[in-house]
Each structure stands twice: as C-alpha cells, then as structure tokens.
Structure 1
Amino acid sequence: MKKQIGFVLSFLLLIASQYSYAQNNAKALLNKVSQKYNGYKTIQASFSLDIRQANGSSHSDAGTLYLDKANNKYHVNTKNQILISDSQTQWNIMKAEKEVEISEASNSTNEINPTNIFTFYTSGFNYTLANTEKAKGISLSVVELKPIDSKKNYSKIKLRINKANNLIYDTTIFDKSGNRYTYTLNSQEGNKAISSSFFTFNKSNYSGFDIVDLR
C-alpha cells in the first residue's frame, strides 16, 4: 500500500511540475509577444473573421483595423460596418441600415476590444503552452488561455503565434454557448503614420444616415 501511495504522489508531483513548466514557457512567450506590440505606437492590420455557431452554421467577414495605441483610438472597417473611436466617443456605422449609433467609448481592460486586441492576454488568465501547429506552412506556437473570472461569457481562448516574428497569427474565442470566433491577422504593419482625422467621425461622409445618440 505504501508503495502504491508513493507512486501516486510521485505521479502527481510529475504532473504538477510539467504543468508549471508549461505555464512558465507560456508566460515567457507571451511576454515576448507583448513587448513586440508595445514597441508600436500605431498598428494597421488586415484581418478575417470566421464564426462557427453551435448549430453548425457559419459566417465570415473581413476588414482592416487602424489603431493608435498610445491614445486608445481605433478605426475598424468591414464590409457591413465601421467602428470609430477617438477614445472618448464611439461611432458605430451600419452601412446597410444607413444608421450611425453614438455611444461612450469603452477603454476597459476587463474586456477584449480594439484598443487591447494585441495585448489582452497580459492579465486575467491562466495559460498553458500547447503543441506546435502549422498553418499555410507557418510554424505556430499555441497558448491556451482560460479566464480567471468564471463570469466571463467565454470559456477559453486559443492564441497562435508566429514563431518567426512573435506576432499573433490568429485568436480563437470559445464562448460558453458553443460558438467559436476566429480572428486571423492576414497582415500587420507597426508604426505606420495614420492621420488623427481618421479616428473622428465626419458627418458629411454619411449623408442620408440616421444618427442615433445613445450617450
């Protein structure tokens, strides 16, 4: 019996040490990724979005994100929607509906939004390093993140990182209803000059649109 107990304890200690090793490696990798993005004052990135719903249906979209990291400003342009924020106000421009919703900008670090999309993983998560994967011939490190706050509406996030340059390749969010949202960064350019006017709403560009102020 003592031998069996000793074996079980040794096995549990081995599992714990391997888990700790995976966590430390994941943390070291994420530190490299955040350092890379923190070196950029602005980021321009083209992305695609793939949504897989629990009922088996799917939806895709694509667009471009312009981010002024230093000032929490962003401009996201997709086929059907434009989001603009000057860090104080957000304009949600719905092209098909010809409507603009105005609301206060949310710069909370407790939720994933355009201002922290490249660095959201730095706090609020437990994480482990998973097996390396490949996509389009690119070798990718994989980190699985689970939110510390169980009240979040997602259960897990899978982050894949390009081993060659420590840039995020894609992010998959697993929500608790069974849906999956995968954001793939097709191109990224840091420190590109972006005019400040790009982060403000110009009403003259949207003649005929209804303006709904929700503030």
Structure 2
Amino acid sequence: MKNTILAFLAMILAVTVSAQYDPKALETLDAMSKKYKSIPSFEANISYTLTNDVEKISEEFKGKITVKGNKFRLALPEQEVINNGATIWTYLPEAKEVNIDNYDPSSEDVNPSKMHEIYKKGFKYLYLQDKVENGVMCEEIDLVPEKKDAQYFKVKMFINKKEKIIQSFTLFDKGGNRYKYSITKFTPNVKVEDTFFTFDAKKHPDVAVVDLR
C-alpha cells in the first residue's frame, strides 16, 4: 500500500512539473473549440467508466447527452441531469425525486456543454502523442489546473485528429478516481427545442420536487 501511495504522489508531481502552455497542444485545442462552436447542437452516445485501482472500484455504464449552446441534457441509467444555462435539474427516476438548483458557470464542476472551452481558463496543457483511441487516430493532450487545490489534478483528452472532436476525456482526482467519458456515436446539428432542456414537473405529478435555490 505504501508503494502504491508513493507511486501515485510521484505521478501527480511528474504531471504538474511537465505541464506547460504547449503551442502544439494549443493549436489542436483551438481547432477543436472552433469545430464545436460551428455546430449549433449535437447528440452523442457515451460510455462512462469509474475506476480506482487502490479501492478496487470498476464501474461502467452507458448514456446519452444532447447539447445546444450552453444547454445540455445528460441521460444516465440512474439519473438525468438537465441544464438550461441558468437552472440545473437532477432527476432520479427510481427515487421519484428531482432536485432543482441554480447553475453557477464559475463552479469547478465540469459542464459537458463547455468541454471544448475548458482549457481556456485556469489550465496548462501539454501535447503528448498521436495515439489510437477506440479505433480512431487521436491527439492525446493533458490539461493540468493552475490551482493546486482544484477538484481534479488532471484532465486527459483524446481529440480526433481528423474531425477535431473529442473522442474521450478522463478526469483524475486526488482520491485516485478516474472518470472516463468515451464518445461512441456523435451526431451534429440535431433538431431540438429549448424546452427539451427543462424538467416539466407537470408531466411528472408523482415526482417529489426538492428546490435548493
């Protein structure tokens, strides 16, 4: 256990020391950001995995995300997160409960609709290599937060080398957890109304509403 902890601390130190404002990484990140800004909306099937080697945790499930501007709707097996840019709803179907809160864009929580802009503030970035990810040639880039007390100590992105869209991204926290989101299907320019990004309590009369605002 001691060797595992030491190795983990060494990994954090190595990543922090090597991270920089890499112009090669910036070129790819800017191209990726430009690509997403040219797409008014998209839908993606995702595969999510949570792993922790020390705690022997390995979980995996699939979901779908729909994004339009700064709005998103993320559907997972046990919950649905809906964000219209101002309000965020977390719907738990099995519990028949929905939590409502104000959305704070300045929070450290990762917003799936803004992943293409995450590098622009508070991060150093480093191009690592070209590497095949899920059968697609990608550019592997690490983002490291400038703040030492950030929620995640690293974000690893694989960006499709040809299409300049995100193939996968992994969040690393200091507890040894790795949260990986892989895009298994990407559909740009989907037609979706703004009302899709709100939770209509009238359509769910049996759901308890917990307003945290």
Shared fold per TM-score greater than 0.5: yes
Contact 1:50 1:59 in 2 (8 A): yes
Paired letter, 1:59? E
Q: TM-score, length-normalised on structure 2?
A: 0.84
Give the corresponding residue for 1:104.
Answer: 102
Give the corresponding residue for 2:12.
Answer: none
Give the corresponding residue for 2:202.
Answer: 204
Give the corresponding residue for 1:59.
Answer: 59
Gaps of 5+ in 1: 1-18
Q: Distance in 1 between matches of 2:25 and 2:66?
A: 28
SS at match of 1:108: coil
1:75-102 Cα distance to aligned partner (Å, 9 max, x none): 1111111111222221110112111111
Contact 1:154 1:174 in 2 (8 A): yes
Paired letter, 2:57? S
User: How many correspondences in the alignment?
Assistant: 195
Contact 1:127 1:146 in 2 (8 A): yes
Q: Percent identity?
A: 28
Give the corresponding residue for 1:4.
Answer: none
**2:145 equivalent to 1:147:** yes
Instruction: Give the 3 Å change call, closer, same or farther, for CA 55–109 of structure 1 in structure 2.
Output: closer
Structure 1 ranges of 4+ moved more than 6 A: none
Give the corresponding residue for 1:11.
Answer: none
SS at match of 1:116: helix
1:26-70 Cα distance to aligned partner (Å, 9 max, x none): 11111111111111121211111100024121111221111121x
Gaps of 5+ in 2: 1-18
Q: How does 1:11-160 map to 2 (within 5 A)?
A: 23-53=22-52, 54-69=54-69, 72-108=70-106, 110-160=108-158
Paired letter, 1:144? D
CA RMSD of aligned residues (A): 2.0
Give the corresponding residue for 1:180.
Answer: 178
Paired letter, 2:40? K
Structure number, greater radius of gyration: 1
1:86-144 Cα distance to aligned partner (Å, 9 max, x none): 22221110112111111112222754213312321222111111122213432111001
